[in-house]
Amino acid sequence: MSRTTEVYLDSASSARLHPAARDTLLAALERGYADPRRLHGPGRDARLLLDNARAVVAECLGVRPDEVGFTSSGTEGVHRGLLGLTTATGRDGIVHGAVEHSSVLHVVQWRDSPAHASIPVDADGVVDVDALAAAARAAGVGAVALQAANQEVGTLQPVDALDLPAGVPLLVDAAAAVGHVDLPRRWDALTASAHKWGGPAGVGVLVVRRGTRWTNPFPGDDGLDQVGGFPDVPAALAAAAALQAVLGEREEVAARQFAQVERVRSAAAALPDVEVVGHPVQRLPHLVTFSVLYAGGDEIVAALAREGYGVASGSACTASTLEPSHVLAAMGALTHGNVRVSLSRDTTDEEVDGFCAALARVVGEIRAGAGL
């Protein structure tokens, strides 16, 4: 039976705009339109708003305001961060976990080096930090990339257990983790994306700690202030407001979501020939991925959408590459028939129960239609 209103369970792709972000964005549009580099009144207003946004984000992340830069996306933050670290060290090699976001892999492909190394993960998606640290000691390595949490399966990485040699900086992609779990303490550069925590799309964050050697790898100034060109001041302020609000409610929301996801994990695991992937405990509270044998991921997603539930396929082929998920392949998991469910901050127990029932119904119908 189809629902009249779709239940959005794909916040890991992009979260619904937080009310705090919406209110701030509308107010900031009236004042934040001017060039913050100008000395006239509107310019000074825009500069004040931008500085306020930077200060709020810095406080939320436990860093200094001058260590924070706004980019156009988390992907741009990763690109500028990694390329800037290797440019500054003069060594192009990048060591990374095998399940890093594609933005990291694209940097590795774009800047070729014999010192590049991809470090394997176990069946839960946890990287071998000892192997990663050993690879970082090779000649020609200029940076290490290790995510805080995986965007497809939710597994948390043991970033703080990583023992890197002096002079090899660490970039942590925290896009999937910010607003959901405590962030690692040990990093030299960190990136995130506002639309993942309920801020507006088009705002990324690049944080570079003081004392870290980093050079802007693209044309422009080396500082983090307006690193991506003309800033979207209202969006930056709205992103900061959303982050502050999300962190204020995180403990309550995370506890509720962790329990709700546990119910989804149990319901999926109870179905025949379904494998739940990712670490069962050391994971993001709101996300779960499972692989369904004898059914296509896109087919399941489309059927669930007809039932009124919006989810994603973690192993869906992209239109540009037609390749399955590198994350699932690295874990040795089934890359076909994969579904990712990520709860919103206001997802209810009733909606979770409805989804679990719909999942069992959809999987059974698809398999029956295939004669299984």
**Could you tell me the mean pLDDT of each successive run of 10 residues in the chain, 372 residues long?**
76 96 95 93 95 98 97 96 96 97 96 96 97 97 98 97 96 98 97 98 97 91 80 96 98 98 98 96 98 92 96 61 80 91 97 98 92 68
**How distant, in Å, are the alpha carbons of 25, 136, 356, 361 from that of 268?**
39, 39, 8, 11
**Looking at residue 324, what is its pLDDT?**
79
Query: d(Cα 196, Cα 204) in Å, to the nearest integer?
Result: 10
Query: d(Cα 239, Cα 254) in Å, to the nearest integer?
Result: 20
Whether 225 and 69 have beta carbons less than 8 Å apart is answered as: yes
What are the structural domain ranges in the chain? 7-15+250-369, 19-245
* CATH tag, 7-15+250-369: 3.90.1150.10
Whether 296 and 306 have beta carbons less than 8 Å apart is answered as: no
**Looking at residue 319, what is its pLDDT?**
38
Residue bearing tokens 């995180």: 250
Give SS3 for 288.
strand
Query: Which ranges of 14-159 does DSSP label H, i.e. alpha helix?
Result: 19-28, 41-61, 74-89, 102-110, 129-136
**Looking at residue 221, what is its pLDDT?**
74
Which residues are the active-site residues?
Answer: 317
Domains 7-15+250-369 and 19-245 share a fold: no
Between strands 117-119 and 93-97, the pairing is: parallel
Q: What is this structure's pTM?
A: 0.94
Q: How far is CA 73 from the centre of its chain?
A: 11
Query: d(Cα 71, Cα 325) in Å, to the nearest integer?
Result: 26
Query: d(Cα 198, Cα 343) in Å, to the nearest integer?
Result: 12
* Among candidate residues 155, 12, 159, 153, the one with its CA nearest the CA of residue 74: 12
**Looking at residue 223, what is its pLDDT?**
79
Query: d(Cα 196, Cα 182) in Å, to the nearest integer?
Result: 15
* CATH tag, 19-245: 3.40.640.10
Residue bearing tokens 């009124």: 308
Give SS3 for 137.
coil
Query: d(Cα 256, Cα 277) in Å, to the nearest integer?
Result: 21
Give SS3 for 277.
strand
